Every structure is written in structure tokens, then in C-alpha cells.
Structure 1
């Protein structure tokens, strides 16, 4: 009988423990972190601006190539290639930034600067007689990015940002077709009346940050390939139709033929060879100087083009490393804060559950034993 009561009591303890533990809401852990995903509006902005940059680059390349093919002047062709290289590179820098609204505003500024420089006397002279085709394209692209901004932003925000873009473009006109970029975060924050640190709310969740890095690596890879191809096109235009190697080889062949003839003359007519050898220096030196000058010029051009390409690749690599480091640092900080919060949350839950379990396994048996002993004592009394 005692053993039966003991088994019933143990079963009661186990059932009571399970009921209390299962009904305790504190045991339902919710693992969260401080990663704040991008709001839907900003995610839509990022997608729209990067899609616009792809169309922007395609249209600029198409109209530039059309102008190159229809222009006879070599210098104008070279200028158009420089313009195309500078504008496409700048559009990649503006559109592929971590903060979506900043990308939108900077791309908007670039389009307005494009319109202004094309209309200037410098632009007309630099791009030749067909500059008006680029002017039409610049106006269409500026109108398109303005429409994208209007569709993404509410009316009040659109008016504020439009005022900033117009003001910033007038204060920072483009004076070369390299389209140099400057960081607009500080002036934009001042225009909006907020601190730089409070303007950027989040760079997105870890997955969004990784996707952003992948997109920027992709555009950098694509643009480096384009720049190399256009540098090759510039070299071909500078050298013209002649192949430098063929030109130098033909000159060497002429020199070899001249020496063969001299040897023949010396063999058959030694007295004539003396007269010819006396004038040989005067005949050969212009040819040698011509070869040297041609080689120096070609080597100088190759060196200049190599330096320019190296500078561009270094700039792209530095920007990419800077962006990856910033995104990686953000992800590490967010991850560390998330782990810290999880540890804090789990620790007090464990402590509380331990207290509950101690009360269940020690308090209830003690109380039950106490009351059972008390009841038995009264019964015996």
C-alpha cells in the first residue's frame, strides 16, 4: 500500500512539472538579432536605380558608338571614347551605393550634370558636330530618373530632394568628361537638417548586405572589361590602320636589302665601295633615327595607356575593398550585438527555469512530506 501511494505521488510530481514547464511562456525562446532589413520602399529604390543604370549604360554606349562610326576626325573619336569611359564609370559609382536613397540622389545629380555639360560650349567643341544626339539622350535620361524618383517618393520628399539635386548640380558643375564624383552624404544631410549618422538607418540584413556586395563586385567586373576594350579601341585609333610591328619590320627589311647591295658592290667593285661607304652614315642615320623615334613614340603611348588603365583598376579595387570592409564591419557588429542579446535573453530564462525546477523537485516533495507526516501524526494522536 505504501509503495502504491509512493508511485502515485511520483506520477503526480512528474505531471505537475510537465504542466508547469509547458505552460510557462518564458520557455518559448525567440532568437532575434539587431539586423534591421531594408524597408520595402528602400529595397524598391535600390532595384529601380540599378535597373536604370543598366539601361543608362546601354543607351550611352549605343549613341557613342554611333557617333564614332559617323565621325571622320580621329581626335573627335578619341574624345567620344573618353567621354563614354568617364560617364559609364561614374554611373556605376553613383548607382551601386549601399544606401538606396543616396544612390538615387547621386544618379539624379549625374544625369543633371550630364545635361549641363553637353549644352556647354566645352561639350559642343569636345564632342564635335553631332553632339546634339547626346544632348537629346541626356535630356531623356534626366527626365527618366526624375520620373523614377517621383514614383518612389512621396510628394513632399520628392520636392525636397529635387531642390537639393538642382542646387548641388549648379554648385558643382562638371568641367571634364571624367565626371569626377564627390561624397554627397554630408551636403544632403545638411540640406535635410539631420546628422550624417542619423541619415543612414540601416544597411539591411546580413543577406541584403551580401547581395549588395555581390552586385557591386559584378558591376566592377563588367566595367573593367569594358574599359579594357575601349582602351584597345583608343590605341587602334591613335596608331591608325598601320600595324606598328609591320612598319618596323618593313624598315628592317629595307635596311637588310641595302646592306646586301653594299656587300655585292664591295665584292665586284672595291673602289666604288669606298665611295659608297663614305656616304653610308648619311644614308643610314635618318633611317635609324626614324626607327628610334617610332619605337620611342609607340613605347611611350603604350606606357601612358598602361598607367591610365592601372590607375583606373586601382581606383576600382580601392572602392570595392572599402565597400566590402564597410559592409563586413556592419555585419560583424550586427552579428555581435545579436549574439549578445541572445545570450542575455537565454541566461535569465535558464536561471528562472532552474529556480522553478528546484521549487518543483525539492519544494513540493518537502511540503507533501510535511503535510502527510502532520496528518499521520494527528491520526495516531
Structure 2
């Protein structure tokens, strides 16, 4: 009952005061929205990530389809898996400026690694195409930073990217590291104090949904690409070895069968039966291996989809609880605000109506006393 009264009383007071055009009030949750520049930076950085992921995936698919070499195909698939994974980690960060910095740094490191490593470690004769793609992405990331930042801030970020050491490795593995602390310390060393805002509840909720959706999409794509990688490895390693062993065994049996048929024609039927069994065993082994591989991939995909759905529902529930708590907190402050407002209205009415009445009453008594003094004074009228 008390909760109902606390909700109805502010609504009734608001309805009673709607006729007064001079009386307006609003409820502030105490949150500061992100500046338009940071919102634009977040949107443009994430848009650049989607273009980067599409460009890398198309380049890697072109290399894998054009190369007959299985190691080159596997390196191309690993390239798009690692590049998109590192890209979504860098671009989907909460702080727009750090997301832009890490995305640019990722493109710079990828371009540096492709320029440093030999063709034999990368993609063989198709390496120049990959180098061209990485160099173009680095230039586009720098141009994006120049268009979004002030000239002074861009100069600092460009110097930070140039001075940031790259991870030296003997392969083309692509990784992304979070540079939030390093960037803040770098700005402080240059006399700049930074303070990043979180944003309103609606902005935080939209940001969480965007980040979770992008990471889920990248995870699903990585699962499909990992399946292609496993298929290449499966064809190259296990099936080839087992098939070679079976063919060697069949060749030995066939030679033995030819020798037996030449010497003892009456044993032909028995040898042919053994040959048929070996052929059936070979076919069964190949079918079982392929079925097991694809069934394992299907189970992993279903588990990942269930995990993603559960995490999405939990995230939506947490966001809904945060919104409900903020709205409930605002409604809890309404009765106190209305009470203070009514107190000031009553005080204003008392001052505006009571003060003239008291002043008139006091003036009337003063005039009455003056009149009586005149009447009672010597020489006055009686």
C-alpha cells in the first residue's frame, strides 16, 4: 500500500500542476552522455573493422583458392582467423580513442610483419597480394585517425604508433594487445590529462549489444574457417597416411594373388574373397573417418551456439536490471522533490497573502492608536 501511495502521489501532483505553464521539473539520473565526437569515432572505427575483416577474408580466400599447395592454403585461413579475431578485440573496446589506436596499431604491425618475413614463410608466390592488402589497410587506418582527431592529438597518436615496438616472431601470427594504460601514460608524459566518460545507460546498453554481436559473429566465422582448416589437415595427414598404408597392403595382396593364380588356379576364389574384404575395409575406414570428423565439428558448433545464446540472454538480463534500478532510483527521489516543491509553494502563498494582511492589520491598529491619542490630548476634539 505504501508503494502504491508513493507512486500515485507524484503522479497526482504532476497532473494538478500541469495547468501552470511556469512550473516545470525534470529528473536527472546523474549520467553524462558521450560527446558526439567520441560517438562518431566509435562508429567509424567499428565500420573500419568490418571493412578490414571483409578485405582480409576476400584476400585470404583468393590465395587459398588459387594455390595448390596445402601449407599455403592453411596459412591463408589462419591469416583471416587471426586478423579478424585481433581486429574485433581492438575495435570493440569501450573507449573509442583507444579502440581507434589499437586498430591502427594492429594494421601497422600486420603490414610490418608481411614486409619483414620471406615469401616462403607467408604465402609463396601470392605474398605480394597479401602485402598490398596489409599496406592499404595501414594507410586507411592512418587516414581515418587523421580525419577523426585534432591535429595535435593525431600527431601524438602517430608518434605513439611509430614508436610502439612490434612483436618479433618467425611466423606471421597476428595478435592485438590493449594499450589503454600505455596510451594514458604517454598522454600524461606529454602534459595531457585524460578522462573518458562511460555514457548514459542507453549508450552503454547499445555498446554492449554491438560488441557482443560482433564478437559472436566473428566466433561463428572462425568456427567455419577452422572447419576448412581441419578438412585440409585431415586430407593432408591422417587420410593420406591410412590410405597409403591400405594401398600398400592391397598391392602386396594383389601381387600375392597373381602369384597364387599363376601357380594354383583353384585358389582364385579364396584370394578374391580376401581382396574384396580388404577393399571393403578400406572404404569403411575412409567413411568412418570422414563421418567422425564432421560429427565432431557439428557438435562443437551446437555447443558454441548454445553458449552464445546463454551469454546473450544473461547480458540482456543484466542490462534490463540496470535500467530498472535506475528508473526505480529516479522514482524514489520524486516524492522528496514533490514534498520540497509543495513546501516552497505553501511558503510562497503564506508570504504573498499573509504578509499584506499582517501589514494592513498593523497599520490599522497604529492609525487607531493615533486617532485615540489625538482625541484624548489637551486641545483635541472630544
What TM-score do you get using the length of structure 1 for normalisation?
Answer: 0.65
Post-superposition CA distance 1:253-280 (Å, at most 9, x none): xxxxxxxxxxxxxxxxxxxx99999999
CA RMSD across the alignment = 4.9
Q: Which moved more, 1:82-91 or 1:135-144?
A: 82-91
Please tell me whether residue 203 in structure 1 is matched to residue 203 in structure 2: no
Q: Distance in 1 between matches of 2:168 and 2:73?
A: 24
Please tell me whether residue 358 in structure 1 is matched to residue 358 in structure 2: no
2:221 alignment partner in structure 1: 226
Please tell me whether residue 37 in structure 1 is matched to residue 33 in structure 2: yes
1:57 alignment partner in structure 2: 53
1:214 alignment partner in structure 2: 209
Tell me which of 96, 101, 107 is aligned to 1:100.
96
1:299 alignment partner in structure 2: 292
Q: Distance in 2 between matches of 1:175 and 1:319?
A: 38
Which has the bigger relative contact order, CA under 8 A and spacing at least 6?
1
In structure 2, stretches of 5+ residues that fail to align are 1-16, 240-245, 247-265, 373-381
What TM-score do you get using the length of structure 2 for normalisation?
Answer: 0.65
Alignment of 1:226-245 (within 5 A): 226-239=221-234
Q: Which moved more, 1:26-35 or 1:279-288?
A: 279-288
* Secondary structure of residue in 1 paired with 2:178: coil
Q: Distance in 1 between matches of 2:174 and 2:111?
A: 12
Alignment of 1:155-194 (within 5 A): 155-168=151-164, 170-173=165-168, 179-193=174-188
In structure 1, stretches of 5+ residues that fail to align are 1-20, 245-250, 252-272
1:147 alignment partner in structure 2: 143
Q: Which moved more, 1:30-39 or 1:368-377?
A: 368-377
* Secondary structure of residue in 1 paired with 2:125: coil
State the Cα distance separating 1:81 from its structure 2 match.
1.1
Q: Distance in 1 between matches of 2:213 and 2:24?
A: 42
Q: Distance in 2 between matches of 1:345 and 1:84?
A: 57
Cα 1:99–1:290 change in 2 (3 A) is: same
Cα 1:121–1:328 change in 2 (3 A) is: farther
State the Cα distance separating 1:84 from its structure 2 match.
0.8
CA contact (8 A) 1:86 1:178 kept: yes
Q: Distance in 2 between matches of 1:318 and 1:236?
A: 29
Cα 1:319–1:293 change in 2 (3 A) is: same
* Secondary structure of residue in 1 paired with 2:196: coil
Post-superposition CA distance 1:135-166 (Å, at most 9, x none): 11101110111011112212221121122223
Post-superposition CA distance 1:211-230 (Å, at most 9, x none): 32332233234324423432
* Secondary structure of residue in 2 paired with 1:34: coil
Cα 1:100–1:122 change in 2 (3 A) is: same
Q: Distance in 2 between matches of 1:328 and 1:161?
A: 38
* Secondary structure of residue in 2 paired with 1:97: coil
Cα 1:67–1:165 change in 2 (3 A) is: same
State the Cα distance separating 1:62 from its structure 2 match.
1.5
* Secondary structure of residue in 2 paired with 1:188: helix
CA contact (8 A) 1:112 1:142 kept: yes
State the Cα distance separating 1:102 from its structure 2 match.
1.0
2:10 alignment partner in structure 1: none
Q: Distance in 2 between matches of 1:333 and 1:61?
A: 43
CA contact (8 A) 1:53 1:92 kept: yes
2:106 alignment partner in structure 1: 110
* Secondary structure of residue in 2 paired with 1:129: helix
